[in-house]
Amino acid sequence: MTFLKRIFIVVAASVMAMAALAADNPRPEKHPAQSWRALLNDELPLLGHRNWIAIVDSAYPYQTSAGVETVETDADQLEVVKAVLDQIAHAKHVRANVFTDAELKLVPESDAKGVAAYREALANLLGTTAAQSLPHEEIIAKLDEAGKTFHVLLLKTRMTIPYTPVFLLLECRYWSDDAEKRLRTAMAAH
């Protein structure tokens, strides 16, 4: 085999290997600033119970589970949280259980300028909606696990304050948690 043929084979094999690697590890979705809203509008009807929507700060890690879709919004975090909650409030098929990082309650203003104002603004935005707090790593693990089977839409924002993500676990709007418990109790009795 000639030297040029060997070089061609090595280069071709390298290109094919890089293409396969890129297919297994897609890059975050890049969308024009307002198209994340269109994406949310398009995807929300497809989402159901056990799917997640996460609105995260700019340093949130890029997760590589197959079902985790990362979208750069280039938007203010509270703006994105409000838009997502409004969309879900108008959806006939899903409701959201809200999770926040447990660490957020303890991040001092001296270490993260603006965190106190963010906590207050988020509390006002959530209103009477109860938010569960879990350690950050525990929530990331839940998203990673969910992404192995279910779709997770991760919306990255311009936020630069740590431990500020808002995680929404979608549930069926027309089937309550109490109805599910009653059904499971009835099934166990049979």
- Please name the amino acid found at residue 128: T
Alpha-carbon radius of gyration of the chain: 21
81 or 15, higher pLDDT = 81
What pLDDT was estimated at residue 8? 52
Mean pLDDT for the chain overall? 88
- Alpha-helical segments (H) within 25-135: 35-43, 77-90, 115-126
> Model confidence at 34, in pLDDT bands (50, 70, 90)?
low
Q: Kindly report, residue by residue over 137-188, the tens digit of the pLDDT.
A: 999 999 999 999 999 999 999 999 999 999 999 999 999 999 999 999 999 9
Pairing of strands 68-72, 29-30: parallel
- Please name the amino acid found at residue 135: P
> Model confidence at 15, in pLDDT bands (50, 70, 90)?
very low
Among 18, 58, 54, 27, residue whose Cα is nearest residue 151: 54
> Model confidence at 27, in pLDDT bands (50, 70, 90)?
very low
DSSP designation for 93:
S
pLDDT over 60 (residue 11): no
Ordered by where they begin, the domains of the chain are 46-189 (3.40.1650.10)
